[in-house]
Amino acid sequence: MLTTNASISEIQRRIAAGEISLPELVEFYVRRVESQRSLNAFLDVYADEALEQARKVQGKLAAGKAGPLAGAVLAIKDNIAIKGKKLTCASHILANFVSPYDATVVQRLRTADAIVLGKTNMDEFAMGSSSENSSVAPVRNPRDPERVPGGSSGGSAAAVAANLCTAALGSDTGGSIRQPAAFCGVVGLKPTYGRVSRFGLVAFASSLDQIGPFGRTVEDVARLLNVMAGHDPMDSTSAPEPVPDFTDQLHTRPESLTIGLPVEYLSGDVQPDIVQAIETAKQAFTEAGYQVRDVHLPMTEYCIATYYIICTAEASSNLARYDGARYGHRAADVQNLEEMYRLTRSEGFGKEVKRRIMLGTYVLSAGYYDAYYRRALKVRTLIRRDFEQAFEQCDVLITPTTPSTAFRIGEKTRDPVAMYLSDIFTVSANLAGLPAISIPAGKDENDLPIGVQLLARPFDEATLLRAAAFLEAQF
């Protein structure tokens, strides 16, 4: 019925031609999810509701009154709220929590006639780089089920890669959209911080978190961003920036473009196949008449340390609300309030979440705040200045998305530092609040997907997406 590379536009064309109906499409995806349950990509599937909505949107299509995303059947990461549905963050502590409201992005997508198929699996509270930290089951990579799909939005990336849905939503705190997109061979976009409302996103690190889309093509994520972007009074960090049509001129070759290649990103231990992909991309830009130049981001070596101080500090603060007193899991047979707090959190949180809460509490504690957290904030400013200076010389930066292709399940679970280094090329965009995208760039010698990352100035997703669409065509 559908090939694995069917974009939103292609699906809409086939529906308009009468080759397929939207209810048939939903039924197809439901069957696909059932047949691929071993991937553990979905936590919940709303088959009956999705089918009912498909019939309504099919009627709108017939009347010529459908929204711009009619034909898109979406999966939503389980840290994004959907009214009346479980919102668990793949954690025991929220195992039975039901959201009382919709996230702003869910409201906007439904208004555009997108259909929500279900919730996807993830690293608990979005803390992880492999989707092995789920309290339910680790997600498996559709390209090789013995390998991880990346994290923390691994379920969403796997769902798109395995053709279990048309597109998906994830969240990106330090690479949690781009890294799994690279590992699974799909497109993943992290918008500028403030471009997309975070209302209804369960907080991990509030100054870093951003919702973004996965798709099979750059055009898919651009179309989703058209609907999702824009100011939201329910989110105090939402920026009142104008929202252009990101699909306008998407496939028109940019007249001029200067590409920056940060030398620090290729000076470390990067898999040779990935280095070659960057060289291929560089050559494609050069042959098209665009200037490619080396740039320097001297604070790059401090990005991982800065990120893991800031994100754990914010996580420690944000996750203090899960105490058993108001909602979520509560330990049984406790003798006093202190015991309730201690047992509830011990039983409800997994190892990685506990690790990050302890790290964050430590760097915020008396005597260590100035040495760690305050210093990390200062370094974050220097990292942002690095990018500002780089963008004085170029329009877009190109880097690897990850230092390696997808690693095996269990390979890094005993070495947290090695796991954290999986995000070495992605955390800087979150620290600086920049838009960034990962696009598929071929395969390595083991036939595993490679991702190439592009970054642009804040709120310049239009240039970022045009450059990505050009590069997408080269691979």
Q: What is the structure's pLDDT at 300? A: 96
For the stretch 133-160, pLDDT in tens is: 999 999 999 999 999 999 999 999 999 9
DSSP letter string over 43-97? EEE-HHHHHHHHHHHHHHHHHT---TTTT-EEEEETTB--TTSB--TT-GGGTT-
Q: What is the structure's pLDDT at 252? A: 86
Please give the Cα distance from 122 to 103 (Å, whole number).
18
Answer whether residue 25 shows pLDDT above 80: yes
Answer whether residue 465 shows pLDDT above 70: yes
Answer whether residue 352 shows pLDDT above 70: yes
3-state class (DSSP) for residue 120: strand
Answer whether residue 2 shows pLDDT above 90: no
Answer whether residue 380 shows pLDDT above 90: yes
On whether the CB atoms of residues 111 and 72 are closer than 8 A, the answer is no
Q: Hey, where are the domains in the chain?
A: 8-228
- Tell me how far apart the terminal alpha carbons of the chain are, to the nearest angstrom: 25
Enter the tokens of residue 163: 């053709």
Residue of 77, 85, 190, 412 marked catalytic: 77
* Cβ neighbours for 461, distance < 8 A, ≥ 6 positions apart: 189, 191, 192, 195, 225, 229, 246, 435
Known catalytic residue at 152: yes
Q: What is the mean pLDDT of the chain?
A: 96
Share of the chain above pLDDT 70, in %: 99
Share of the chain above pLDDT 90, in %: 94
Please give the Cα distance from 457 to 464 (Å, whole number).
8
Alpha helices in 272-368, H assignment, sequence order: 272-287, 303-318, 337-348, 351-364
Answer whether residue 417 shows pLDDT above 90: no
Known catalytic residue at 190: no
Q: What is the arithmetic mean of pLDDT over 38-64?
A: 97
Q: How confident is the model at residue 230 (pLDDT cuts 50, 70, 90)?
A: very high
Residue among 378, 69, 417 at smallest CA distance from 213: 69
Provide the angle, in degrees to the nearest 10, between the axes of the packed helices 22-35 and 8-16: 130
Residue of 129, 131, 176, 428 marked catalytic: 176
Q: Which fold has domain 8-228?
A: Amidase signature (AS) enzymes (3.90.1300)
Q: What is the structure's pLDDT at 104? A: 98
Q: What is the arithmetic mean of pLDDT over 339-366?
A: 96
Q: What is the structure's pLDDT at 4? A: 57
3-state class (DSSP) for residue 454: strand
Q: What is the arithmetic mean of pLDDT over 379-385?
A: 98
Residue of 99, 152, 153, 428 marked catalytic: 152
3-state class (DSSP) for residue 5: coil
For the stretch 236-247, pLDDT in tens is: 999 999 999 999
